[in-house]
Amino acid sequence: LEQYYTKKLHNLANIQWNRKIFQFCDVFLFHQVLEFLVRQLAVPYHINISSTCRWSYVAKETRMFLDLFVFDECRYLYDWMPTIDNFIHSIEDIERQLVFRFALDGITRHTRWYFEEYFSGTACVEKFDKKGFEYLTLKRRNYIT
């Protein structure tokens, strides 16, 4: 994969993120930067677990399942951060970095148990025993009779 990196992406890949970036629960790593930059160019959709609805009903004799998933583009994050040219200068600003890291953590808390490939290792707050910062899970199904 590295053979396809541009010079600027190579420069970002060679930064020792654990020395430059303020430490939270997880160490900031290059794969998070790469994922962010790729998603900035695409139109990613992130599942909103707290808005998901689930039902089950019986159609004649067969148990049926219906799930309504709500997705969020999170454009506020992708439009707010600069592109690859100025990314390093922006992320070195501690205030901007805090907002960026907490936004990634929020996305991860919705997707952690369902899509592990998205922004893995982005925890700003520990995952256990912190009310309001739990990793979200799908709701139980409502049974329609």
Mean pLDDT of the chain: 81
Q: Distances from the Cα of 69 to the Cαs of 47, 54, 89, 92, 94, in angstroms? A: 7, 9, 36, 36, 34
Q: How many CB atoms lie within 10 A of CB 96?
A: 15
Q: How far apart are CA 119 and CA 4, in angstroms?
A: 21
47: three-class secondary structure by DSSP: strand
- With beta carbons less than 8 A apart as the criterion, state whether 66 and 92 touch: no
Residue 18: per-residue pLDDT: 67
Instruction: State mean pLDDT over 66-78.
Output: 89
Q: Which of 98, 4, 87, 1 minimizes the C-alpha distance to 40?
A: 87
Q: Which of 133, 132, 131, 138 minimizes the C-alpha distance to 113?
A: 138
User: pLDDT per residue over 24-53, tens digit each?
Assistant: 667 777 777 888 888 888 888 888 888 999
Residue 68: per-residue pLDDT: 95
Residue 41: per-residue pLDDT: 83
Q: Which of 46, 31, 50 minimizes the C-alpha distance to 137?
A: 50
In the structure encoding, which two tokens stand for residue 72, read together? 């969020």
pLDDT above 90: residue 73: no
pLDDT above 70: residue 22: no
Residue 54: per-residue pLDDT: 95
Confidence band (pLDDT; 50, 70, 90) for 141? very high
Instruction: State mean pLDDT over 117-143.
Output: 75
Confidence band (pLDDT; 50, 70, 90) for 123? confident
Residue 113: per-residue pLDDT: 67
To the question of pTM greater than 0.75 for the whole model, the response is no
Q: Which of 40, 69, 42, 39 minimizes the C-alpha distance to 54?
A: 69
pLDDT above 80: residue 125: no
